[in-house]
Chain A
Amino acid sequence: MTEFGDVPEYLLTVEGLKTHFFSRSGVVKAVDGISYDVREGETLAIVGESGCGKSVGALSIMRLVSSPPGRIVDGRVLFDGADLLEVSESQMRTIRGNRIAMIFQEPMTSLNPVLTIGKQITESLELHLKMQGAEAQKRAVELLEMVGIPDAPSRLKQYPHQFSGGMRQRVMIAMAMSCNPRLLIADEPTTALDVTIQAQILELIKNLSAQLGTAVIIITHNLGVVARYADRVNVMYAGKIIERGTAIDIYENPQHPYTQGLLDSVPRLDEDRKRKLESIEGMPPDLMNLPAGCAFQPRCKYAIERCVEETPPLLTVGDGHTAACWVTAGSTSEVGA
């Protein structure tokens, strides 16, 4: 029963995931009840500003949230019929890097400085596919060539500092793709790279995932990335998903005032040049001390009394398009998802 109708096959289903951090001064609700699905082979974008819980949500799927202080307090993560939050740690290790792989945001520091590139790429081959020696080396060369690193055999013997940022991110992609994962989580894969390299890396991820049939969750705060690469989009604010729809829905017809504000704050080539860029008033809320009702309500120019009294659920505003807002969605629809 979802808002997306009759597509039965979900690779990943996240239900009511809550990840909280327990600090001395209080509980930080970094992820506070998010639900979404990822279909086989699709690209899902999770968008939001820094600190809205998008990375923590992804790490929770992999069970990599450092504990203490973090803890997944509630929810289910169904992947391939198993609840990843219930399986044992050793089973989880056979899934990490093998069936769910991850790319991180800091290519400069994501590789171990004292191990060769070859050693780091062959590691998951050894761990998951039980490849050894020459076989693993051969596969590593193939992987490096696949991500477009020339002169692969000699590059394997080099250390990370001999690679540029973009090259390192390519190595990360090679590592992530080494076991043909069914789901790739890319956590802001282009944040630390310059714009031309960003495009190359994103194209690479897109082409490889299309070739191998990998589903991708791409976490970003870059709305341009979303428009170009995502099939569907989840917009997050203060630990909750506040709007979801296809990329077209979100761009053409944003329903949540926050999404509208985000889009208004980005310059576009196809619009009147005289338009002033809008900014969203105020600051993101303190996750330890959320405002009553809708978390966006103190910054929202449309806020009504109900927004303070009651937290809006995701309300259906179109086919497969939902938004958590009493004002823009509430008047026209019934409760969705």
Chain B
Amino acid sequence: MADEIVLRPSAATGVPFPLRWARGLWSFVFTMVRYKPLGAAGLFIVVLLMFTAIFADFIAPYEYNDTNRHDQFAPPSFNHLIGADHLGRDLFSRIVHGSRISVSIGFGAVAGAMCIAISLGLLTGYYGGWLDKIIQRIVDGWMTFPGIVIALAMVAIAGPGLWQLIIILGLLFGIRGSRVIRGQVLSVMARPHMEVARSVGVGDLRLMLVHLFPNVLPLVIILATIEIPLAITIEASLSFLGFGIPPPAPSWGRMLSAEARQHMLMAPWLGIAPGLALSLTIFGWNMFGDAMRDLLDPAMRGSLGER
């Protein structure tokens, strides 16, 4: 019984309690490991991915583009840890460098998406009226198209490339996300403390940024952790279809289609390595995102959800 009380430190209070964790990164990590082991595993994978991306130049034994005629389709060995591809490029180095694309797409696209979602969501939810009607009808129209179709069409216009993809995915997720943010804004706006703030003489801008935004922030974090793996998947899909990052950049999705599909039976490591890298990354982000949602979701506030 006593243990349960400790487990639910802020039951029945108004604060999304992880905000207090922000004080200590360590206590956050500790809580994750203690109460959300799967989420902690996800966090570990995510951190590993970022570490790899940042220090790719030191970790990878070769450049991602070093071709070597003698090592074509070399099987895994000490020289090539997980083998080499049809141009004799070291697969391990390519996977390691590929993590940079994954991380840039994930963070870049979602950072852009959050900027768009937050500004649209705050504006339409706060002011309502015709502004809300017009913008949200456009969002409605946007949401009738499947994401991949919009992305394909926009790549056809903007051309392939990392920056193009970041902007396209940012738009794609941002416009959709604005609906979610707006919903939360509407619910916070209906709370009495917003009226109190108004009665104190707070103006629109301050009301939005100081009083409204911090109440929406937990949702933004949840949304971001859900959308990062989605962005990575869509990049991989686009690259697989040949619309993503052009060669010779080591995009995992492209490695799956360009090299692996043709030579899969002869050199299975060509498919296994990028496939595994993608799956692990997505799995890590999803587990981490799930744990974050359990911890931050206002509906589950105070409880820790399922482990």
Contacts and interface: CB of A to CB of B under 8 A. Distances in A.
Contacts of A97: 199-202
Interface in A128-165: 128, 159-161
Interface in A106-143: 106, 108-115, 123-124, 127-128
Contacts of A205: none
Contact of B202 (A101, A102, A123): A123
Given A112-B215, A114-B19, A96 B198 contact: yes
B199 A101 contact: yes
B190 to A, nearest CB: 10
Contact of A104 (B195, B202, B210, B215): B195
Nearest to A159: B15
A160 B198 CA distance: 18
Contacts of B24: none
Interface string B166-208: 0000000000000000000000000111011111111100000
A307 interface: no
A113 B215 contact: yes
A124 B14 contact: no
Contacts of B13: 113, 161
A127 B210 CA distance: 13
**Which residue, B192, B202, B210, B214, has most C-beta atoms of chain A within 10 A?**
B192
Contacts of B284: none
A190 to B, nearest CB: 15
Contact of A62 (B19, B192, B199): B199
A108 B13 CA distance: 9
Interface residues of A, number: 31
Nearest to B193: A112
A115 B192 contact: no
A161 B211 contact: no
B244 interface: no
Nearest to A128: B201
A175 interface: yes
A115 B215 CA distance: 9
A255 interface: no
A93 B204 CA distance: 10
Nearest to A93: B201
Contacts of B15: 113-114, 159-161
B301 to A, nearest CB: 10
A96 B199 contact: yes
A108 B15 CA distance: 12
B204 to A, nearest CB: 9
Contacts of B192: 104, 106, 109-110
B303 interface: no
A17 B215 CA distance: 35
B67 interface: no
Interface in B1-35: 10, 13-16, 19
B14 A96 contact: no
Interface string B30-73: 00000000000000000000000000000000000000000000
A19 interface: no
A123 B193 CA distance: 13
A262 interface: no
**Which residue, A68, A95, A110, A175, has most C-beta atoms of chain B within 10 A?**
A110
Contacts of B214: 112, 114-115
Given A104-B192, A114-B215, 4 more contacts: A96-B199, A112-B196, A128-B201, A161-B10
Interface of B: 10, 13-16, 19, 129, 191-193, 195-203, 210-211, 214-215, 217
The 3 A-B residue pairs with the shortest CB-CB distance, nearest first, are A161-B13, A113-B14, A97-B200
